[in-house]
Structure 1
Amino acid sequence: MTARTIADRKAEVWARLQTVTDPELDEPVTDLEFVTRADVDAQNRVHIEFRLPTYWCAANFSFLMADDMRTAVKQLPWVNAVSVTLGEHMYADKINAGLAQGLSFQETFGVEADGDLDELRRTFLVKAFQRRQAALLAYLIADGFAPEVLVGLTLGELAALPFDEAGDRLLARYLERRPVVAAVTEPLAFLDADGDPLQSETLPTYVRALRRVDVNAEFNSALCRGLLHARFDTETPFTPRRAGQAAEPPELSV
């Protein structure tokens, strides 16, 4: 395998990892700088390493992200195997052993497992759907669309609206999560988490309630980024010293 082929395949791996999100923050693990390594060897085996903002991040969240990374990368047709390793975490040894053996979260943690991973995944997918829907609805309301128009929009009518770049992004993100609660044959563009139509008279209140949840998520996102940067110092460039070169003494404040 040529160096160019390996480089191209590494780029494909990173593109697949871009589709994996932190379940609570609904942001790509790559954008959050959780992934520190994604290599491809000559046997088309992929090796991924990641870290999290704190040593005590929940075991189920940690395992969920690792499992989603493995599943996403395995979809590449040329991949023969995927290894995912979590570093510097209180459950790293147990999680990494379970991942290496291809075990589920329940099999890895046994009686310590807190709930079903598929249920947890769906819970956060629904929350992501609600946040993305609220962002799109708020954008449309600010653009002058009346509640009675929005609740009656079909999926085709929504897709045909003349969006700017920001609106296009909100629409794409919403449509990505809409199948979590709506059948592909459902014509209405906007439904609640139970799959029921929204009501025009309560739409502003509905959007405000979901936007408050979104604000909390944005705060958690900023907190996680700050903790990650503080823990791993992701911003200060590393300049290696030459052999025999003494470290410069720190400046003293007076």
Structure 2
Amino acid sequence: MDEVLPHRDRRTSEVWTRLATVTDPELDESVTDLGFVERVTVHDDGGVDIVFRLPTYWCSANFAFLMADDMRQAVSALPWVREARPQLRDHMVAQEINRGVSEGKSFAEALKDFAPGGSLDDLREKFRRKAFERRQEFMMLALRGLGYEDSAICRMTLGAYDEVDFGPGEVARQKLRYRELLVERHLANLPDDRAFVTYEGFAIRRHELVSYLQRLRGVRINMEFNSSLCRGLLAARYREFDGGSPERASTCGACGSGCAGSTIKLAAAAEKHTIAPA
């Protein structure tokens, strides 16, 4: 027994680490930071049960399905996992989503009444763009905070970007997150590639940067508003049923790490910088 428990604890920690890579597609924030994941249970046979909940009973079925499927894929990537079983609770179509994800169905197959277009690819692309722009704005403002001129930011290569030292903390984490999307979308791969381009891959000129950042600021504010709304609704909903306290609402479901605070710090860090007037 003494050997089994540490082994299980290690595997549980690995599952939480993988779940932290899964984001709410609308908010670009981790489902663990948001407090959506309530409980993780690791079984000796390699099965993993993941119980999660959302802020309201009627949260978008599209988003709920995407998060459940992303959780399944993220945890299934661990070599020892035989089966990952996300279970959404307290949602209007939880049964359909849970069954569809467990059977490997598409959203259109699992919830025909909610998928008139038949595919979630367009939805994923829409929110991938928003995630890219939010991360990009954050890094541009962080570079301004270090004293970089706008012209230098517009010309910055991926190699130069990699060499910028922000020290430990949230900015360093966001630096890697922005880079991940650059590479994923093939916008920058080589050291001489530009680090800051539009989502379509076009260069951002110095005289365009102020208006460009103003538009990105609108994207961020909208996402931060939705994030705050989701957090408030989730806290109000489950404080009553779970008997939780205000402190509990700020930690992810079972890890108790207080990781939700990182998102608040991210918003505060971005607001410390101001966009210069044209």
Residue type of the partner of 1:207?
Answer: L
Percent identical pairs in the alignment equals: 45
Instruction: Read off the aligned partner of 1:212 and give its amino acid letter.
Output: G
1:112, distance to aligned residue in structure 2 (A)? 3.4
Question: SS where residue 55 of structure 1 aligns?
Answer: coil
Consecutive aligned runs of 4 or more in structure 1 exceeding 3 Å deviation? 164-167
Query: After superposition, what is the alpha-carbon deviation per residue over 1:85-124, rounded to whole angstroms, capped at 9, x for unaligned?
Result: 1101011111112122221111112353144223322221
Match of 2:200 in 1: 194
Deviates more, 1:211-220 or 1:75-84: 211-220
Q: Distance in 2 between matches of 1:47 and 1:203?
A: 46
Query: Which amino acid is 2:229 matched to?
Result: L
2:133–2:219: 8 Å Cα contact kept in structure 1?
Answer: no
The alignment status of 1:148 with 2:148, answered yes or no, reads no
Q: How does 1:129-208 map to 2 (within 5 A)?
A: 129-165=132-168, 166-181=170-185, 182-185=187-190, 187-208=193-214
Aligned letter for 1:195?
Answer: G
TM-score normalised by the chain length of structure 2: 0.80
| Structure-2 residue corresponding to 1:54 | 56
SS at structure 2 position matched to 1:213: helix
* Alpha-carbon distance in structure 2 between the residues aligned to 1:126 and 1:36: 28
Q: Is the 1:126–1:180 Cα contact (8 Å) retained in structure 2?
A: no
- Corresponding letter in the other structure for 2:189: V
CA contact (8 A) 1:21 1:29 kept: yes
- Partner deviation per Cα, 1:204-244 (whole Å, 9 max, x = no partner): 1101210121012111111100000101106429xxxxxxx
Aligned partner of 2:32 among 30, 33, 58: 30
- SS of 1:98's partner is helix
Note if 1:228 corresponds to 2:231: no
- Contact 2:11–2:42 (CA<8 Å) still a contact in 1? yes
- Indicate how the Cα distance of structure 1 residues 112 and 177 shifts in structure 2: closer, same or farther if over 3 A, else same: same
Considering only aligned residues, what root-mean-square deviation do their CA atoms show, in Å?
1.8
| CA deviations over 1:132-164 (Å, ceiling 9, x no partner) | 001111222233322221111110011112324
8 Å contact 1:50–1:87 — kept in the other structure?
yes
How many residues of Structure 1 are paired with residues of Structure 2 in the alignment? 237
In structure 1, the residue matched to 2:256 is none
Contact map agreement 1:44 1:79 (CA 8 A) in 2 = yes
Instruction: Please tell me the residue identity of whatever aligns with 2:29.
Output: E
SS in 2 for 1:85: strand
Is residue 2:221 matched to residue 1:218? no
Question: 1:191 Cα shift?
Answer: 0.8
Aligned counterpart in structure 2 of residue 45 of structure 1, from 41, 44, 47 = 47
TM-score w.r.t. length of structure 1: 0.87
